Structure 1
């Protein structure tokens, strides 16, 4: 009898010990560790399945600092094989079915938009982890237990607020008032998330498979070389409002390159400046204008130039330029790195335009 009692006591103790899991860290500590892991991640990859309303997309995601990403669509079938690639300065989207590539560069990348039926909203998958990290850093999260996700133990955190937390990365940019995230208890990487509206309606859900960070993704993964026979077109972009330059002081403030040598009688009139995109400066003598343009060169967009057969000109610093005259105007144009330059006047002559061009990188014109 004593032996039976002893056995029962041992079994009870053992069952109690097995049923008591280690206490998880506090919610704010879990959140802080996730935020820290996101900040330390120089690269990231995962397969992500996204459901937003009636739309479902699965893609292989690769991301690397600074600003590089690659999205390889796996589902749905009519999107499978489509690839989106950005090296931080140029973006491509290639459709193997139509053998068409759309491309955009520089500041216009943020203004690019997609035409149906392509689900442009799905490209937002590259920023889900950043959005979650920013919100967890600002909001108080609640611990909702643990779950097993793909064989991994995940901490479940929830953030809710009566006011909008952020906009959902969906086609309609719905306001998110609550979200849940599943964070790998060991790696601190995202395993899943759900975003909800103010009525508790599910807006978007995403599941991550095989997430990895800091694996040393190669740079050439984010370079796109259009296959032979590809039709290349510029990606459509929305209009971007540039800065208006009403004075020399405005130009100096924004660090705009300006000529220090002008034809006699010419003075600054006005200009426009889109940082990283273009600068257009207009000078006038009251009757005629002199225009100096610096524009990010894009070989896939048609460049507006004066027609005619150009004459080769060698600038004093060795840069190769072209001079052309047509329709009562003359123009000197050249390339310097990623930018194309044009100096256009009202038949000022090659010598005068060369003098202006060679002074463009000098000190700004005195006010």
Structure 2
């Protein structure tokens, strides 16, 4: 399954689930899918300002971006406020996608022609809808307003048999007119609010011109041209090959949780896209369908400070680290720590003691 198809499936599945809650559980998947397609067929373009707040312990981090889309394949996003990437612009006219980094005055231009073999009209909307209805419990909580627009409020919880990929409780506000999501709230497994995303200044069918989705390359900008998404995907290699390819000292654990075996490694040179991150090395160990992942992110200068979170501060061979439980459950956690110019991250379906033991063996 190609990346575009996967992304569209996730989007359609989410929106269809939300619309199902709006009109009642008694409707069949086929009826919901038909109603959804009718609503979407009336949308020619839309735009909004997106506010996303992430809650990390006592910290609240808010990012703001503007977004516009013209059906079926034109889109533009500008990051207005963010901890990183402020001012970045991503534009697609359906044939080419441009990503502009103002800090570096660099442009990544990617040809989208390789994605042209995917026809959204051939998707099995009814089957997708039925799978999601089977996997999740949802309730219509009432009617509210978001930025002046009437909205249905829906709570969604994955049930015990869920295979859909939704792993956290979610509340969403759905525009009554268009069935477009206007607000999301996501909660961890202890009921703590993690993320709030809100679409403000939402407008639909305003006649956005095609010229809005063209990009004029700034004078003097460095341009990197990619033939497709494949150029962004690093080659899979062995551990020995990863150590040879990397410009840095790659740390490999001498201890790994019982049952897990090395699966694959990748080395990704990021300098042409992200100036602050020089290289990313990823190592995956697997057991059946589960995976332990180690990421080693190398920066040109000192690695950024680890943000305070709802986690436990631990010592990793003299370096301060942080263990954070995730919404996946008590036996899924993530550990991060810094070593000079490198950020080390281990995550997987094991407890914190196992993560610390793995980390301490990486010398």
Interval of TM-score (by shorter of Structure 1 and Structure 2): 0.3 to 0.5
Q: TM-score, normalised by structure 2?
A: 0.44
More strand by proportion, 1 or 2? 2
Q: TM-score, normalised by structure 1?
A: 0.43
